[in-house]
């Protein structure tokens, strides 16, 4: 159903991005899957770099945050089946920005809105959106995710 919905939306599950340091892309504990911070990488390249300076950049940053969510779905597949997602529990959005930028919550909507499009009611989640001075590799945004997945039967 999730893959079907993604196809309907014209989205493809990206290849899992390799870690850029010493960590795993995802870790399962009980029925929760913790996704390491995902950068806006597409086809091996960052699609948005540097701190956000103005509200004019919100739309572009939302698209980058949506890419982070797709990358998080891919990371989940390293420890669980995509179709086993019961619900999205939490998003932690980090936005590199100038002190004068205040649209962090709007940028985070890029991931939140896509999650709800793909997962429906199961995509409703709690969230934080935090402005930071810099992110790894000079990325503009980063996203941490927690999913609940179904227990395997058997």
- CATH code for the domain of 74: 3.30.1330.40
- pLDDT for position 154: 44
Burial of 27 (0-12, 13-18, 19+ CB in 10 A): middle
**Domain-located, residue 22:** no
Across 123-148, average pLDDT = 98
- pLDDT for position 133: 97
6 has pLDDT over 60? yes
User: The domain containing residue 140 runs over which residues?
Assistant: 2-14+33-149
**CA-to-CA distance for 12 and 82, rounded, in angstroms?**
13
Helix axes 58-76, 104-119, angle to 10 degrees: 40
Annotate 2-18 with b (16+ C-beta within 10 A) or e (fewer): beeebeeeebebbebbe
**Domain-located, residue 82:** yes
Nearest partner of 85 among 99, 75, 98, judged by Cα: 75
Number of domains in the chain: 1
**Cβ–Cβ < 8 Å for 27, 79:** yes
**Domain-located, residue 27:** no
**Domain-located, residue 26:** no
Residue 25's pLDDT band, with cuts at 50, 70 and 90, is: very high
**Domain-located, residue 93:** yes
For a pLDDT cut of 70, what percent of the chain falls above it?
99
Residue 123's pLDDT band, with cuts at 50, 70 and 90, is: very high
Residue 153's pLDDT band, with cuts at 50, 70 and 90, is: low
151 has pLDDT over 90? no
Estimate to the nearest angstrom the gap between the alpha carbon of 48 and the chain centroid: 14
Using one digit for the tens of pLDDT, what is the confidence trace for 76-113?
A: 999 999 999 999 999 999 999 999 999 999 999 999 99
Predicted structure pTM score: 0.96
**CA-to-CA distance for 116 and 55, rounded, in angstroms?**
24
């Amino acid at each position: 159903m999730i893959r079907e919905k993604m196809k309907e939306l014209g989205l493809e599950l990206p290849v899992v991005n390799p870690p850029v340091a010493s960590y795993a892309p995802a870790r399962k504990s009980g029925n929760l899957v913790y996704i390491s911070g995902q950068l806006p990488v597409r086809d091996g390249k960052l699609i948005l770099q540097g701190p956000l300076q103005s509200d004019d950049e919100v739309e572009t940053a939302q698209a980058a945050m949506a890419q982070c969510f797709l990358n998080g779905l891919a990371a989940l597949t390293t420890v669980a089946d995509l179709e086993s997602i019961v619900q999205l529990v939490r998003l932690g959005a980090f936005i590199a920005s100038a002190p004068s930028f205040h649209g962090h919550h709007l940028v985070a909507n890029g991931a939140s809105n896509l999650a709800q499009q793909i997962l429906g009611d199961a995509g409703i989640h709690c969230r934080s959106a935090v402005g930071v001075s810099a992110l790894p590799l000079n990325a503009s945004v980063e996203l941490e995710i927690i999913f609940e997945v179904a227990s395997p039967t058997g």
